[in-house]
């Protein structure tokens, strides 16, 4: 500093380097804190294998789980590149009778990455094959009916194709129906009871229906804020009821509903993990909820967050909140600490009801 003539430099002087000015140092420190805060929002990839929350290849920032094809391409990208490099050397430099010139373009590998979207598969060809099969079956029946006495009404009472049309479409997919259209059929002509709310009553909320009812514009920026806003929304019911139950479904792999979720997942829905409360919620929230594993992890995240002491203290005195997620259940009375329900143990013992 003395050699450069900066030993007596001050912030107001012309000889003080800009990196040493108080304003620049403060800005650099804030930038460092922002980087640290951003890294804490990611999940830690350097944990031991026994403590890793995810077993498959997962995006660091978005926590999106890679498909089997994407994981294979990403993990073997270096090997693919090395193989292509060796082919380039062999075909263009070391072989005397090579048909490829040095400047000929290289064919793109087209490896699958996190940003690659799956295309929707067309079922036109499969539908055509089934219709042709039906036409061939009908022609054989018509030929046999000319020589034998057959009751065609009885013949046509059976499906001619490989699948029953009451269960499947000509494309081979399951027949779908709108569940909302069943409600008017069940309630048509039935008297509607008046809503009754008392200070000693209990209210049972369908957890996923409650989350589905929220507008996409009202979804908070982070999962932690989403859990707190949903908790606040439930606490409003304590003005009328003394107990509120947040009931959620379980999402099994072997189920008819899971087949539909799998079909939706093939059309763009992604498996996304929740690494921390500071993680940002996905912009396409409807596609996020189209995957059953995402919904189950979201409910488990709520189950953990709502048992925080700062949220438990928000409950009105004497009120009770019961929350469920997967096979876990907890009863949170406001006058004491969290009391875990024994439903998990009761379920393993094949008991018929939850102690709560």
Would you list the domain boundaries of the chain?
57-110, 128-171, 202-348
Position 175 scores a pLDDT of 77
| Residue range 218-232, pLDDT digits in tens | 899 889 999 999 999
Q: What percent of the chain has pLDDT over 90?
A: 8
Average pLDDT, integer, range 313-323: 85
Position 340 scores a pLDDT of 47
Q: Which of 21-35, 158-172, 184-198, 264-278 is modeled with the greatest confidence?
A: 21-35
C-alpha distances in Å from residue 72, one per residue of 5, 16, 106, 274: 59, 54, 22, 23
d(CA 175, CA 168): 5
d(CA 205, CA 199): 17
* pLDDT of 351 strictly over 50: no
| Residue range 242-263, pLDDT digits in tens | 889 998 887 777 777 776 666 6
Position 284 scores a pLDDT of 81
Position 32 scores a pLDDT of 94
Q: Which residue has the higher pLDDT, 82 or 289?
A: 82
Q: Which of 79, 173, 191 is nearest to 121 (CA)?
A: 173
d(CA 315, CA 306): 11
Identify the weakest region by mean pLDDT among 94-103, 104-113, 116-125, 303-312.
116-125
Q: Are 285 and 270 in contact (CB under 8 A)?
A: no
pLDDT category, 65, cuts 50, 70, 90? confident
d(CA 106, CA 112): 18
Q: Are 355 and 343 in contact (CB under 8 A)?
A: yes
pLDDT category, 334, cuts 50, 70, 90? low
Q: Which residue has the higher pLDDT, 301 or 62?
A: 301
Q: Where are the beta strands (DSSP E) in the chain?
A: 202-206, 243-247, 320-325, 328-333, 339-340
d(CA 302, CA 310): 14
Q: Are 280 and 273 in contact (CB under 8 A)?
A: no
- In the numeric block, the tokens 């090997």 are attached to 79
Q: Are 152 and 145 in contact (CB under 8 A)?
A: yes
How buried is residue 269: exposed, middle or buried, by Cβ count under 10 Å (0-12/13-18/19+)?
buried
Position 263 scores a pLDDT of 63
Q: What is the mean pLDDT of the chain?
A: 76
d(CA 167, CA 173): 9
Average pLDDT, integer, range 278-282: 86
| Residue range 180-224, pLDDT digits in tens | 777 788 878 777 666 555 667 888 998 888 888 888 888 998 899
Q: Are 138 and 160 in contact (CB under 8 A)?
A: yes
Position 199 scores a pLDDT of 64
C-alpha distances in Å from residue 101, one per residue of 36, 88, 104, 107: 50, 10, 5, 14
* pLDDT of 119 strictly over 70: no
Average pLDDT, integer, range 18-33: 88
Q: Which of 168-182, 235-249, 267-281 is modeled with the greatest confidence?
A: 235-249
CA-based end-to-end distance of the chain: 73
Q: Are 65 and 57 in contact (CB under 8 A)?
A: yes
3-state secondary structure of 202: strand
Q: Are 56 and 71 in contact (CB under 8 A)?
A: yes
Residue 221 has φ and ψ, to the nearest 5°, of: -75, -30
Position 342 scores a pLDDT of 43
Q: Which of 12-26, 147-161, 180-194, 283-297 is modeled with the greatest confidence?
A: 283-297
Identify the weakest region by mean pLDDT among 14-18, 239-243, 245-249.
14-18
Q: Are 226 and 220 in contact (CB under 8 A)?
A: yes
What is the DSSP code string of 282-338?
A: PS-HHHHTTSHHHHHHHHHHHHHHTTSHHHHTTSPTT-EEEEEETTEEEEEETTSS-
């Amino acid at each position: 500093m003395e050699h450069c003539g900066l030993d007596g430099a001050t912030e107001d002087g012309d000889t003080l380097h800009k990196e040493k000015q108080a304003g620049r140092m403060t800005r650099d420190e804030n930038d460092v804190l922002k980087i640290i805060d951003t890294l804490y929002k990611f999940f830690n990839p350097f944990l031991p294998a026994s403590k890793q929350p995810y077993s498959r290849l997962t995006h660091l920032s978005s926590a999106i789980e890679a498909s089997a094809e994407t994981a294979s391409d990403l993990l073997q990208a270096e090997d693919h590149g090395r193989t292509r490099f060796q082919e380039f050397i062999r075909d263009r430099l070391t072989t005397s009778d090579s048909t490829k010139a040095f400047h000929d373009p290289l064919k793109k590998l087209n490896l699958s990455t996190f940003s690659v979207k799956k295309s929707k598969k067309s079922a036109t060809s499969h539908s055509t094959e089934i219709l042709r099969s039906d036409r061939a079956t009908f022609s054989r029946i018509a030929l046999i009916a000319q020589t034998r006495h057959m009751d065609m009404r009885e013949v046509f009472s059976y499906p001619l194709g490989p699948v029953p049309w009451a269960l499947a479409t000509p494309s081979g997919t399951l027949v779908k129906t709108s569940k909302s259209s069943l409600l008017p059929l069940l309630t048509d002509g039935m008297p509607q009871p008046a809503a009754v709310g008392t200070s000693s009553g209990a209210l049972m909320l369908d957890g996923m229906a409650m989350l589905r009812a929220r507008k996409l514009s009202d979804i908070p920026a982070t999962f932690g804020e989403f859990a707190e806003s949903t908790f606040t929304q439930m606490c409003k019911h304590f003005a009328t009821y003394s107990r509120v139950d947040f009931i959620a479904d379980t999402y099994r792999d072997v189920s008819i509903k899971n087949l539909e979720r799998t079909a939706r997942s093939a059309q763009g829905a992604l498996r996304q993990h929740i690494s921390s409360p500071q993680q940002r919620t996905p912009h396409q929230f409807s596609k996020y909820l189209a995957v059953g594993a995402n919904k189950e992890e979201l409910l488990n995240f709520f189950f953990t967050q709502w048992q925080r002491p700062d949220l438990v203290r928000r409950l009105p005195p004497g009120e009770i909140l019961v929350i469920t997620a997967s096979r876990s259940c907890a009863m949170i009375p406001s006058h004491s600490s969290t009391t875990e329900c024994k439903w998990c143990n009761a379920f393993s013992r094949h008991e018929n009801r939850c102690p709560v």
